[in-house]
């Protein structure tokens, strides 16, 4: 640990996926605010280092024993201690910074592509699949589209790539719309619902509801579809703007999975602990993003607003909901109003 925290910054980042200063501050916060204590032989620094090493590498207990020179029992105990402390951090950091959503996000306010058309947008929602270890008798219902057991995780994020809500534990076979409808109807989950007049962006896999704006169906949508030809007509103009702005959630998922390899190769923990581990990676993602120390990974994202990490998993579903949904008319009106204003702005730019 002394070598990692006093040596070259790159070594620390490669091992723990965060800078030396961010790592030290995390140890201080977990000890002073969330009850993590050093033991007779093991400091808080080493405990957090062991935990973050497992997350960043997806390391097995045996690998960690060799790296940190502790017994398997000690490794397991320390991991659970830090995971308990991170649970406290998760509850405080996985939430909107502006609970009432009064401010217009700067990414919209200062970008003529989105302002004033999307001034009432507060973020994006989407689901992502994370591979997990499930007992053989339960694997069928957890099997995702790729045939492996997964959790279908629902998340919301703002335009700073900060997650404002995370719901884990749903089976990989569950559709995004089912998880979403259960989430917004269950008060105990404390989903940060949009206030009147505000809305999240969602993809075509979600049902239309008041406060959740989806794109036009059966119309070109993804950026790659516009490479050969520019948008034709108002609906394609709207869809391209919607897709560009909603990419924040795909970029957030991408950098999350690129940073924490445990999300690709989960060691064998209980189902309950696997859920907690997933939440811990989301919480640490936010913690690093909110740190005042410049993070190399986020720096790449900030320098290129269109960059999505190569291993990003975009769970865009083409399934359409045919049933009548409450709020459809109001959200259609919002979508049409934005489409009209986008086309007017486009004509004005041509005229000038």
Q: pLDDT tens across 116-173, in order?
A: 999 999 999 999 999 999 988 888 888 887 888 999 999 999 999 999 999 999 999 8
Is pTM beyond 0.85? Reply is yes
Task: Indicate whether 287 pLDDT > 90.
Answer: yes
If DSSP codes are grouped into helix, strand and coil, which group holds residue 324? coil
**How far is it, in rounded angstroms, from Cα 17 to Cα 172?**
28
Sign of the alpha-carbon torsion through 225, 230, 236, 242: positive
Question: What end-to-end distance do the CA atoms of the chain give, in Å?
Answer: 60
CA dist list (Å): 268 to 58, 166, 197, 263, 314 = 11, 22, 45, 12, 25
pLDDT band at 24 (very low <50, low <70, confident <90, very high): very high
- pLDDT 10s digits, 249-265: 999 999 999 999 999 98
Query: What are the DSSP calls for 195-216, one per residue?
Result: PTT-EEE--TTS--BTTEEPPP
Q: Which residue in this structure is represented by tokens 């959790």?
A: 151
pLDDT at 325: 43
- Read off the DSSP letter of residue 104: P
Find how far residue 281's CA is from the centre of its chain.
Answer: 9
């Amino acid at each position: 640990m002394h070598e990692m925290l006093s040596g070259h910054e790159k070594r620390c980042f490669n091992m723990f996926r965060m800078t030396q200063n961010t790592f030290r501050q995390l140890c201080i916060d977990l000890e002073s605010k969330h009850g993590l204590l050093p033991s007779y032989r093991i400091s808080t620094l080493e405990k957090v280092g062991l935990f973050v090493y497992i997350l960043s590498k997806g390391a097995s207990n045996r690998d960690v024993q060799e790296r940190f020179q502790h017994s398997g029992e000690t490794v397991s105990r320390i991991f659970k201690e830090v995971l308990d402390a991170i649970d406290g951090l998760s509850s405080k950091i996985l939430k909107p910074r502006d609970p009432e959503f009064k401010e217009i996000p700067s990414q919209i306010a200062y970008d003529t592509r989105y302002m004033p058309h999307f001034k009432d947008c507060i973020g994006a929602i989407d689901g992502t699949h994370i591979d997990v270890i499930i007992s053989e008798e339960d694997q069928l219902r957890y099997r995702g589209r790729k045939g492996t057991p997964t959790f279908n995780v629902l998340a919301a994020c703002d335009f700073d790539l900060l997650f404002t809500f995370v719901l884990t534990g749903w089976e990989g076979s569950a559709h995004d719309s089912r998880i979403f409808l259960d989430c917004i109807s269950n008060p105990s989950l404390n989903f940060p619902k949009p206030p009147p007049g505000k809305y999240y962006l969602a993809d075509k896999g979600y049902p239309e509801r008041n406060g959740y704006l989806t794109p036009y169906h059966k119309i070109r949508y993804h950026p790659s579809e516009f490479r050969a030809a520019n948008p034709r007509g108002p609906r394609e103009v709207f869809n391209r703007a919607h897709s560009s702005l909603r990419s924040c959630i795909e970029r957030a998922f991408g950098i999350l999975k690129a940073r924490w390899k445990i999300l690709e190769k989960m060691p064998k923990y209980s189902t309950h602990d696997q859920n907690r581990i997933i939440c811990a990676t989301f919480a640490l993602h936010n913690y690093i993003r909110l740190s005042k120390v410049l993070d190399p990974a986020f720096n790449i994202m900030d320098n290129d607003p269109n960059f999505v990490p190569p291993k990003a998993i975009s769970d865009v579903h083409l399934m359409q909901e045919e049933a009548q949904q409450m709020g459809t008319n109001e959200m259609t009106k919002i979508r049409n109003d934005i489409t009209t204003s986008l086309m007017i702005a486009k004509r004005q730019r041509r005229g000038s």
